[in-house]
Amino acid sequence: MRFFNTAGPVKSADHYHIPPLDRLSLDGVLTLIRQKKYFVLHAPRQTGKTSVLLMLRDLLNAEGHYRCVYANVEVGQAGREDTQRAMQAILGELALRARQARQDEFVEEIWFDALQRYGPDGALRQVLSRWAAADPRPLVLLIDEIDALIGDTLVSVLRQLRAGYDMRPEDFPQSVVLCGVRDVRDYRIQSTAENAIITGGSAFNVKAESLRLGAFSDEEVQTLLAQHTQETGQVFTDGAQHAIWEWTQGQPWLVNALAYEACFKNEAGRDRSRSIDAAAIGAAREQLIVRRETHLDQLADKLKEERVRRVVEPLLSGGEAHSLPPDDLMYVRDLGLISPDDPVCIANPIYREVIPRDLTYTTQATLAQDTAWYVNAAGELDMGKLLSAFQAFFREHSEHWVERFQYKEAGPQLLLQAFLQRIVPRFCAGRLRGGRIEREYGLGRLRTDLLIAWPQGERIRKVAIECKILHKGLEQTIAVGLEQTAAYMDRCQAEAGHLVIFDRRVGRRWDDKVFHCRRAADSGVVIEVWGM
């Protein structure tokens, strides 16, 4: 039985898949190769780049007009800026791949001698030149994980490829494809040897084009799921298919991971007579997040980087986007954290969930809060009592806790989310249909929206919480916040709403900042307002 793939390149015999070469313009790629162009293929991690390169290699070799070799140069990363050590690993990898894909021993026979004679800054060029000249069929080289190389090693590889460009195709590869997370033009390489920052554009200015491998389309997601149905008879309901698309926005690893979790790891899902519904996908989503799967863990690790913080923090706080550094924005887009197109927003709802959870992970673990304190006699979550307790907690501890966050500008919103995350999932644990916290935030919204939903008897109870930073006068902030909260309640069909206003003005007394009242929006909806 085939299965949904969440690790490594696609293997057609083993995995449900969208044919990798169908996901980009194959005619365009072949045209670039025929025109002897050097170009870049880039996309976020676990999007399918390696699968595309391997399929392209096999296609070109099967046609017989080219000699095509794929090589993963990540093996050189351990050498860091020791170019001798790194180049030895890279040339060894190239020899191995040539032997494996084409039974070609040429590189194996010459690379060590070339490294000894020409050194790490000339060996790659010499090997590629002699290799290209050894056979009349043009050589095509696919270099994967190019941006895994570091500092002077990366500079050396790029410059040697550029230096031989004018000798192609008789004495150098006809076409070279560089593949990685980032476009080569965006590289800012710290060269220790030259004591300078070198841009990828200057080190590799022969690049003709940059191709970006995108996410699955909604139609491709449905096609992928249909392969499982066709082979097993197990159906994904319309609600399940919609949930997978909405929560992933087609991110390939997320799509496969949700489907694999629901169909192969969940005991009920392994019963092929049972359909996969939206609730099963929701449970799968929560399992992926709680287990901190490698893909999500790697993503969260990037949040520690300062250039990522400069982009993500205004999103979390709902701040204005006056001064997002263009280089930082491009970098975070290449990582796949935010959408590839404007307006700037987190790439998908699962990432939107993971980011604040990860940023507050330690805070959640150390908050001394017992869910039972906030459950009333009817077994319902008492949101008034919960927010009152948070208001008291925030007054006493906020300066200490917010200071712990790397993302201090979004500190109040993150602290509230940590507080809720500590309580709500435990309250919902064991309930037949579970419960959830949904989050909405983004640039220029001047607010963060939270929706708390949990099953109560036969219905789902929903409570909306709107968080705002007090920017102008209090009354104006309340007035605007009431209308925003009422609109959010209407859209989410929430039965109750709370507006939380954080007053971060310096010098204000807590007695002036802390209050609780009930106010009506213009629509007549009564909303509880909490100042802190």
Q: Tokens 């000699």, residue?
A: 67
3-state secondary structure of 217: coil
- What does the H/E/C string look like for 123-155? HHHHHHHHHHHCCCCCEEEEEECHHHCCHHHHH
Is the Cα torsion angle 153, 158, 159, 165 positive or negative in sign? Answer: positive
pLDDT digits (tens, 9 = 90+) for 435-484: 788 999 988 788 899 999 888 777 888 999 999 999 878 999 999 999 99
pLDDT digits (tens, 9 = 90+) for 197-221: 787 777 788 888 999 999 999 999 9
Packing angle, helices 349-359 and 294-301, rounded to 10 = 60
Answer yes or no: is pLDDT of 146 > 60.
yes
Tell me how far CA of residue 419 lies from CA of 59, 463, 502, in angstroms. 54, 16, 15
Q: What is the percentage of the chain residues whose pLDDT exceeds 70?
A: 98
pLDDT digits (tens, 9 = 90+) for 369-389: 888 888 888 888 899 999 999
Q: Tokens 């993503």, residue?
A: 299
Q: Could you state, in order of their start, the residue ranges of all structural domains in the chain?
A: 19-212, 218-291, 332-346+355-531
Residues 6+ apart with CB under 8 A from 167: 129, 132
Under the banding of pLDDT at 50, 70 and 90, the label for residue 300 is confident
Under CATH, which number does the domain 19-212 receive? 3.40.50.300
Q: How far is residue 418's CA from residue 351's CA, in Å, rounded to a whole number?
A: 16
* Whether the Cβ atoms of residue 93 and residue 75 lie closer than 8 Å to each other: yes
Is the Cα torsion angle 471, 474, 476, 478 positive or negative in sign? Answer: positive
Answer yes or no: is pLDDT of 321 > 70.
no
Least confident of 312-326, 467-481, 512-526: 312-326
Main-chain phi, psi angles of 198, to 5 degrees: -115, 130
Of 486, 474, 479, 476, residue with least CA distance to 449: 486
Q: How far is residue 261's CA from residue 267's CA, in Å, rounded to a whole number?
A: 10
Least confident of 112-126, 155-169, 348-362: 348-362
**pTM of this prediction?**
0.90
Query: When comparing pLDDT for 131 and 292, which is higher?
Result: 131
What does the mean pLDDT of the chain come to?
92
DSSP 354-374: HHHHHHTHHHHHH----GGGG
Residues written for the chain: 532
Under the banding of pLDDT at 50, 70 and 90, the label for residue 49 is very high
Q: How far is residue 175's CA from residue 341's CA, in Å, rounded to a whole number?
A: 29
What would the mean pLDDT of 264-287 be, rounded to a whole number? 93
Could you tell me the fold of the domain covering 218-291?
Helicase, Ruva Protein; domain 3 (1.10.8)
Answer yes or no: is pLDDT of 352 > 80.
yes
The two structure tokens encoding residue 195: 């004591």
* Whether the Cβ atoms of residue 359 and residue 303 lie closer than 8 Å to each other: yes
The two structure tokens encoding residue 489: 């309640």
Is the Cα torsion angle 297, 299, 300, 301 positive or negative in sign? Answer: positive
